[in-house]
Amino acid sequence: MKILIMGDLHYTAELVNSDEGLEAARDAFYEGYLQQYLSVEADYYVSIGDLTHAGLPAEFEFILSRVRSALPEGRFMFVLGNHDTYNLSKSDIEILTGQPRYQALDLEEATLVLLDTARIVQDNWGGTLDDEQLDWLSGLTSRGGSKPMIVFAHHPVYGTTARSTEPMFSVEPPIDLLSILAAHQGPGFYVNGHNHVRSTVQNGHWHFIQTASVTDVPSAILLELHGDSVTIENIPLSTAFDRERLARFVPAMHDYDPRLDAEGDGEDGRRTLPLTEREKEAGRHDR
């Protein structure tokens, strides 16, 4: 099973001191990126949140209209980021996009879990989960079985990936997500964005994978699940022209600061994360 993961896209409908040249550069970049992203072969396509920059209906429609013309229904999914909730309520976003704010897919190869960690206030961009969702997630992780679980959320778990101990750069620390995740008996993969720096760490039988922002590093992560391992591959999705377009319109994005350390530790290419012998054996019995 192949899952293509998009980092924070931050598509913006509004630019500061905009003109036709800035708008043309923006549209050319996002059109090209989405075309390349949607042309990569995968079973599922997942946005890790901040799909939009201001959460405007026009921003959602720009992206989703292109997705709908390229993919069958149900192949593209996204989690909410803090920017996505700036102008619409979560219920309005669900109606507009046709996707629930959190969900789980119990597939043959793995259980996919999409969380809603976004707040609805702009002055606190940190993550949280309400009690209803925490109870639901606890039920998923504690139900037994050792099939791999892949969790997608915008915010990282506190104390895992790069910058996740900084204020408002994780799910709030009092929420002990690590303990909830640890209840899952099989291998786990938690994929997040928000911090705009690539980072991969391991804690017990969970791997935590953090993406960069698309406007800093135009790429995607291909996560491929094999029988006894998971491969993670960075897929570049840009050209020299794209870099020129980014350099032109990104400075005109309101409240967006590119990160010079976006590529993190510099690891690139393809990585393989083997399952432990215990996990492989349990997985064989669980199927």
The predicted-structure confidence for 242-256, as pLDDT tens digits, reads as follows: 999 999 999 999 999
- Tokens describing residue 119: 């707040």
Q: Specify the pLDDT at position 123.
A: 92
CA-closest candidate to residue 154, choices 121, 124, 182, 118: 118
> Domain range holding 223?
2-286
CA distance 79 to 59: 15
d(CA 213, CA 196): 5
Give the count of domains, the chain: 1
CA dihedral angle for residue 276, residue 282, residue 285, residue 287, rounded to 10 degrees: -70
pLDDT digits (tens, 9 = 90+) for 124-173: 999 999 999 999 999 999 998 889 999 999 999 999 999 999 999 999 99
The CATH number given to whatever domain includes residue 53 is 3.60.21.10
Q: Please, where are the H alpha helices in the chain?
A: 20-39, 57-70, 90-97, 131-141, 177-182, 240-249, 277-286
Number of residues written out for the chain: 287
pTM: 0.94
- Give the tokens for residue 184: 């899952």
Containing 185, the helix (H) or strand (E) segment is none
